[in-house]
């Protein structure tokens, strides 16, 4: 299985971006059920929804959503994997939480969760083959380890982390097939990618990458279905989009998108 470890020196120069600057980071994978991708962006959320609509009609669906550098970004994917069917949003977590619970009761599962410009946005699908989902929320980052361990003790796997309204939101799922999960955090991207490289060396894939409050949070697992993973980081959004386009020609597709410092 290919891992990026032997390229670490090269990646440090060409893919990791400059230390101390804002950066866009993509986790890419092969054999992930994706055959094509498009990356869309807009300054306003509703403008992004308008851009998504024609691609949705062509069989593309939102596989990842991110807000960063004053813009909304949607990764549109086409392939065997199941992506968005419904997008729900609200300006307050307490209200979005109610919509989340109703979506679960109607048979929808959360694909991705993002907060930006005072808005929670959830991407949902009815066909994730999950048994159930649950959430935990807390404003203290030091309590996340306990909440994650509690979820694992209840036979749930952590699939999503988001931060907004001064709270960390964790999304758990049963029936994901994920095994041997590990939660890590770092205070810089340089420290984070060293952790990623080390976990790849142990045969674990990264399934979630999130940045907030000066911390990079990472979730690793085995049995992800990915055959190969690598990452790319660029300081400028346009440069990142160009790098993602180049990696698509080599069979790599974005499975998680993050931005931070």
Q: Helix, strand, coil: what percent of the chain each, to 5?
A: 30, 45, 25
Percent of the chain beyond pLDDT 90?
86
The residue assigned the tokens 């404003």 is 139
Mean per-residue pLDDT of the chain = 92
Q: DSSP secondary-structure letter at 94?
A: H
State both tokens at 53: 């609509």
Nearest of 70, 71, 69, 65 to residue 87 by alpha carbon = 65
The tens digit of pLDDT for each residue in 152-170 reads: 999 999 999 999 999 999 9
Nearest of 222, 197, 202 to residue 27 by alpha carbon = 197
Q: What residue spans define the domains of the chain? A: 4-260
Percent of the chain beyond pLDDT 70?
92
State both tokens at 180: 């041997």
How far apart (Å, rounded) are the C-alpha atoms in residues 69 and 45?
13
The tens digit of pLDDT for each residue in 219-251 reads: 999 999 898 999 999 999 999 999 999 999 999
């Amino acid at each position: 299985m290919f891992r990026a470890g032997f390229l670490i020196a090269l990646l440090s120069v060409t893919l990791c971006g400059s230390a101390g600057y804002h950066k866009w980071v993509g986790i890419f994978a092969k054999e992930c059920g994706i055959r094509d991708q498009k990356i869309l962006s807009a300054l306003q959320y509703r403008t992004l929804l308008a851009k998504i609509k024609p691609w949705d009609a062509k069989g593309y669906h939102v596989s990842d959503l991110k807000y960063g550098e004053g813009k909304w970004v949607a990764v549109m994917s086409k392939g065997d994997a199941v992506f968005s069917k419904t997008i729900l949003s609200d300006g307050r977590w307490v209200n979005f939480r109610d919509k989340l619970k109703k979506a679960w009761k109607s048979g929808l599962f959360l694909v991705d969760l993002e907060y930006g410009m005072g808005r929670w946005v959830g991407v949902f699908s009815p066909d994730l083959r999950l048994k159930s989902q649950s959430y935990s929320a807390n404003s203290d980052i030091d309590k996340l380890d306990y909440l994650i361990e509690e979820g694992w003790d209840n036979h749930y796997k952590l699939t999503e982390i988001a931060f907004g309204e001064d709270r960390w939101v964790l999304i758990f799922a049963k029936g994901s097939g994920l095994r041997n999960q590990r939660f890590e955090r770092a205070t810089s991207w340089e420290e984070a990618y060293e952790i990623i490289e080390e976990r790849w060396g142990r045969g674990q894939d990264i399934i979630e990458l999130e940045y907030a409050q000066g911390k990079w949070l990472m979730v690793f697992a085995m049995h992800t279905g990915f055959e190969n993973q690598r990452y790319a980081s660029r300081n400028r959004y346009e440069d990142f989009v160009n790098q993602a386009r180049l990696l698509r020609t080599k069979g790599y597709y974005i499975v998680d998108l993050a931005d931070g410092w």
